[in-house]
């Protein structure tokens, strides 16, 4: 029995999506249960997935097996003392916060739980944290995120997708977007209403709120995917891999977990400065054939990363029994 724990607050949140994709990966290969650790569970997610609320006084707690925490933890909670001891304790560590690392590295002694096994979602994250563990890319449904036939447009659409918070946006990108608009490019930015005060909204620049369009539908509206964050550093950057799965050429800031997958000039592009980003974007805008070539290579990369053999190997990690 595998129990997956998450707060399940935000239908568009990265940790929520990671927990749900892990459920989909393991469901059918083993007995899997989703648990909400929060009283603010999303009604949308509860309607779509069999999520149970932890309620120890009502006997709604896990009864042993493998406990997998994704973006949630057990510290300072009462319910673990009512639950059965797990055979294995796995923490999918998808942030860079050292406080959470300390909280999850050792369970409270009174619980007598096994030692924590960490799953990291990129080698980039492992290097920056100095933590060793199982490295598994965040699960993605590459059937749902698939290429579409693209018409050659006079004005290619450049876009990005993220949560609608300031830390997801780099302040230097305001100037990048303005420059692109001045060059005649179309920009479609979802999860970017936080930039409304700094950017004009007209035919050239469209800002959409978070969740306005389903991620695959949004990505299918683009010709080029651009990505850079502000204070938030992506441990993995699932949206970049989703864009690659859709056959889009991606142009991304070098500092993120996705940089382990993007090979500059082969299946995407990495940049350090705004000037580099603008030069790469100009080249892609001017050359539809180059966009198609890089996008096809991006799709092949993602297909290899999420091949049946690769998924079986990742599933095997969770399905194995406790090490004696």
The CA distance from 32 to 65, in Å, is 10
CA 83 to the chain's CA centroid: 30
Do residues 209 and 99 share a domain?
Answer: no
Do residues 135 and 162 share a domain?
Answer: no
Using the structure block, give the residue that is written with the tokens 């509860």: 46
Are 261 and 238 within 8 A, CB to CB? no
* Residue-averaged pLDDT of the chain: 93
What is the DSSP pairing of strand 51-53 with strand 32-36?
Answer: parallel
Residue 235's nearest CA partner among 128, 93, 95 is 95
Q: Is residue 82 part of a domain?
A: yes
Residue 142's nearest CA partner among 258, 246, 252, 283 is 246
Q: Is residue 148 part of a domain?
A: no
Judge whether residue 171 has pLDDT over 70: yes
> Which token pair is 8?
């399940």
Do residues 257 and 203 share a domain?
Answer: yes
> What local confidence, expressed as pLDDT, does residue 174 receive?
97
The CA distance from 95 to 233, in Å, is 9
Which secondary-structure segment (H or E) carries 188? strand 186-190
Using the structure block, give the residue that is written with the tokens 């974007």: 281
In the chain, what are the helix, strand and coil shares in percent, each to the nearest 5?
35, 20, 45
Burial 4-38 (b: 16+ CB within 10 A, else e): bbbbbebebbbbbbbbbbbbebbbeeeebbbbbbe
Distances (CA, A) of 176 to 79, 106, 279: 49, 44, 11
Q: Is residue 9 part of a domain?
A: yes
Do residues 174 and 231 share a domain?
Answer: yes
Are 70 and 5 within 8 A, CB to CB? yes
Do residues 174 and 112 share a domain?
Answer: no
> What local confidence, expressed as pLDDT, does residue 75 receive?
80
What backbone phi and psi angles, to 5 degrees, belong to 223?
Answer: -110, -25
The CA distance from 276 to 179, in Å, is 13
What is the DSSP pairing of strand 224-227 with strand 88-93?
Answer: unpaired
Do residues 131 and 169 share a domain?
Answer: no
The CA distance from 241 to 140, in Å, is 8
What backbone phi and psi angles, to 5 degrees, belong to 166?
Answer: -60, -35
Do residues 166 and 299 share a domain?
Answer: yes
> What local confidence, expressed as pLDDT, does residue 71 receive?
85
What backbone phi and psi angles, to 5 degrees, belong to 141?
Answer: -85, 95
- What's the DSSP call for residue 86? P
How many Cβ atoms from other residues are within 10 Å of residue 154's Cβ? Answer: 6
- What's the DSSP call for residue 210? T
Do residues 274 and 315 share a domain?
Answer: no
The average pLDDT across 223-250 equals: 96
Q: Is residue 70 part of a domain?
A: yes
> Which token pair is 197?
């005060």
Q: Is residue 34 part of a domain?
A: yes
Domain around 299: 157-304
Do residues 206 and 92 share a domain?
Answer: no
Are 140 and 216 within 8 A, CB to CB? no
- What's the DSSP call for residue 268? B
Domain count, the chain: 2
**CATH number, position 31:** 3.40.50.2000
Do residues 38 and 84 share a domain?
Answer: yes
Do residues 131 and 162 share a domain?
Answer: no
Judge whether residue 149 has pLDDT over 90: no
pLDDT digits (tens, 9 = 90+) for 262-296: 999 999 999 999 999 999 999 999 999 999 999 99
> What local confidence, expressed as pLDDT, does residue 103 receive?
83
pLDDT digits (tens, 9 = 90+) for 11-67: 988 889 999 999 999 998 889 999 999 889 999 999 999 999 999 999 999 999 999
Do residues 130 and 260 share a domain?
Answer: no
């Amino acid at each position: 029995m595998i129990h997956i724990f998450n707060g399940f607050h935000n239908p568009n949140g990265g940790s929520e999506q990671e927990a749900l994709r892990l459920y989909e990966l393991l469901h059918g290969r083993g007995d899997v249960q989703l648990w909400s650790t929060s009283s603010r569970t999303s009604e949308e997610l509860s309607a779509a997935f069999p999520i149970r609320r932890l309620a120890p006084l009502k006997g709604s707690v896990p009864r042993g097996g493998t406990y997998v925490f994704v973006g949630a933890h057990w510290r300072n909670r009462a319910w673990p003392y009512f639950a059965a001891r797990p055979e294995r304790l796995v923490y999918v560590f998808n942030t860079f916060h050292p406080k959470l690392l300390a909280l999850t590295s050792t369970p409270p002694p009174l619980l007598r739980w096994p030692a924590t096994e960490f799953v990291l979602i990129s080698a980039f994250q492992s290097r920056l944290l100095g933590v060793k563990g199982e490295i598994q890319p965040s699960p993605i449904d590459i059937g749902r995120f698939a290429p579409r036939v693209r018409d050659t447009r006079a004005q290619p659409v450049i876009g990005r997708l993220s949560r609608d918070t300031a830390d997801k946006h780099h302040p230097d990108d305001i100037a990048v977007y303005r420059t692109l608009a001045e060059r005649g490019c179309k920009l479609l930015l979802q999860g970017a209403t936080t930039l409304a005060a700094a950017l004009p909204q007209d035919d050239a620049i469209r800002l959409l709120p978070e969740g306005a369009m389903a991620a695959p539908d949004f990505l299918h509206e683009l010709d080029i995917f651009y990505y850079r964050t502000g204070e938030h550093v992506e441990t993995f950057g699932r949206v970049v891999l989703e864009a690659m799965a859709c056959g889009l050429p991606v142009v991304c800031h070098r500092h993120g977990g996705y940089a382990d997958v993007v090979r500059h000039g082969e299946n995407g592009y990495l940049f350090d400065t705004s000037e580099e980003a603008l030069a790469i974007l100009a080249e892609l805008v001017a050359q539809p054939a180059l966009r198609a070539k890089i996008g096809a290579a991006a799709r092949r990369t993602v297909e290899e990363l999420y091949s049946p053999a690769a998924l079986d190997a990742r599933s095997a990690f969770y399905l194995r029994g406790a090490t004696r």
